Every structure is written in C-alpha cells, then in structure tokens.
Amino acid sequence: MDLSSAAKHYKEFGYVCLRQFFTQAMLDSVEPVVRAFHERWIDDNHAFYEANAINSSGLTAETYLEKEERKALFGLIGSESMSKLATALLNRPVYMNSQLFFNPFNPHQKNYWHRDGQYHLSLEEQKEALNGPDVIHIRIPLADEPGMELVPKSHKEWDSPLALDTRLEQNGRNKSDPLPEGKVIQLNRGDILAFSANMLHRGLYGQDRFALDILFCEPQMHSFLNDVHQPCAEIKATLECLSVFP
C-alpha cells in the first residue's frame, strides 16, 4: 500500500497496517537496545512487572539508555521512512514519547478494551476529543505477535452501548469481553500498525510479543511534550530527518 492510500485508510478507519514496512536490518539495529532497556527497566520495576505490567515507556529518555543506544532508537524515529509515514497520516506530526509492549508475567492476565483518553478525561471530554487534535501510535513489533484488536471508525464514532459497558465495566460486562465490532490485526516483525489513540482498542497477549510503540501528536498538543524524550543536538546531527522533532 502506498502512503496516500495508507493516509486515506487511516482517515476513514482510524488505523492502517503496512506489511513489511521496515527491513529486518533496520529492526536489527534497534532490537538489542530495546532488549537492554527492558532488562534494566525490569530490574528497577520488579514488583510492578510481576504484578500486572504490560508496558513501559520513555525509552528515549536518559533513564536506562546511554547516548549511543538512544542514538540507535532515534535513528529509527528520525528515519526518512518514519517521518514520511507520520507526515502522511498526521498534520505536522511531532514525536512525543515511546512505549514498549510485552506479555504480562501472569499468563492468565486478561487484556482490556479502552480509549487512551479515558484515564484522564470525562466521558463528555472523550466525546469532544473525537473532533480534536490526534495522537497516533506507530506500533513496531520486534517479534511476530497476535497483534491488536481495534474497533474500526471509533476514532470518530462514539461507543455502541455494549462497547461502553465493556470498557467501563458496567451492567455486568468485563473490560476483556469480546465485542462483535472488534477487528483483529495480527502482526509480524517488519509490519507496522498505525492507529489513533482516540480509538477503542485492546492488545492481544501471547507468542513472544515485544513491540515498540512510537507516539506522534499534532502541534496543538505541544503542551504534552517533555524535553527528556527528545534528542540532544549531537544526536540530531546524526539523523536523516529532523522534521518530527520540536
């Protein structure tokens, strides 16, 4: 799929999957760094990891990675292919933060339907957000994984009564219950899935799930940016594209 078809699909459905978008060599250049981050993060967050964690964040900050390691991650985020993709999908995309998704320590832990905004916005504000500036996730699996389940068009459309009951766990529903409108997107190493943070989604656990997630926002959301996640001048000088950095 070319980038203009991808943009059309993203606009209509709130997500787009591009198969074999990144070369294996490109992923090989970041995977050891991501694995090193994960080991150091677990050392520091042991109780949380074993309790119920399914992700960490802030990979490009200085907390767990050295400058050379961060340079490798920024090499991907500031690559021409990433910058062209983000620019095709969003209006003047700005790099915000990064996350890492992995399997829960407890193999029986259940996943959960949600919209990202539901943890800090009221229901009215969540409805308004459907017409506001967008935040996009670019999910980059480093291993083949079950992927994500999404509700197509929910980046612009409010929940069905069943979906609302499910993600809010009301009227007898659990947040991991199936939704008939859910669409599963299985992902392999090399594929990417771009999806709007506004949309209703859940991760699917299993296999060797280990996925990097790069977040870009539109310029109206500048107040949510934190300098600690951004590249320093020395790293910027090594990057192919600077347009996604503030």
Residues that bind ligand AKG (CB under 6 A): 54, 101, 116, 137, 201, 203, 213
Q: SS3 letters for 163-223? A: HHHHHCCCCCCCCCCCCCCCEEEEECECEEEEEECCCCEEECCCCCCEEEEEEEECHHHHH
The distance of closest approach from Cβ of residue 120 to ligand AKG in the complex, given in angstroms and rounded to an integer, is: 13
Tokens of 100: 């890492």
Shortest Å, Cβ 203 to ligand AKG:
2
Nearest to 109 by CA among 54, 146, 147, 60: 54
Nearer to ligand AKG, 54 or 143 (CB): 54
The number of helices, as runs of H, and strands, as runs of E, in the chain is: 8, 9
Closest CB 39 distance from ligand AKG, rounded Å: 20
Q: Nearer Cβ to ligand AKG, position 65 or 136? A: 136
Give residue number: closest CB to ligand AKG.
203
Choice between 83 and 97, CB closer to ligand AKG: 97
Decide whether 15 or 235 has the Cβ nearer to ligand AKG.
15
Q: Tokens representing 46?
A: 């042991």
Structural contact between residues 169 and 175, judged by C-beta atoms closer than 8 angstroms: yes
Task: Give least dist CB 80 to ligand AKG, A.
Answer: 24
The first and second tokens of residue 200, run together, are 């209703």
The closest of 19, 99, 214, 95 to 6, measured between CA atoms, is 19
In the complex, minimum distance from the CB of residue 126 to ligand AKG, in angstroms, rounded to a whole number: 14
Q: Which is nearer to ligand AKG, 8 or 175 (CB)?
A: 175
Q: Which long-range contacts does 125-130 make (Cβ < 8 Å, 24+ apart)?
A: 127/158, 129/198, 130/155, 130/156, 130/157, 130/158, 130/198
* Shortest distance, position 208 Cβ to ligand AKG, whole Å: 14
If the CB atoms of residues 150 and 235 are measured against ligand AKG, the closer one turns out to be 150
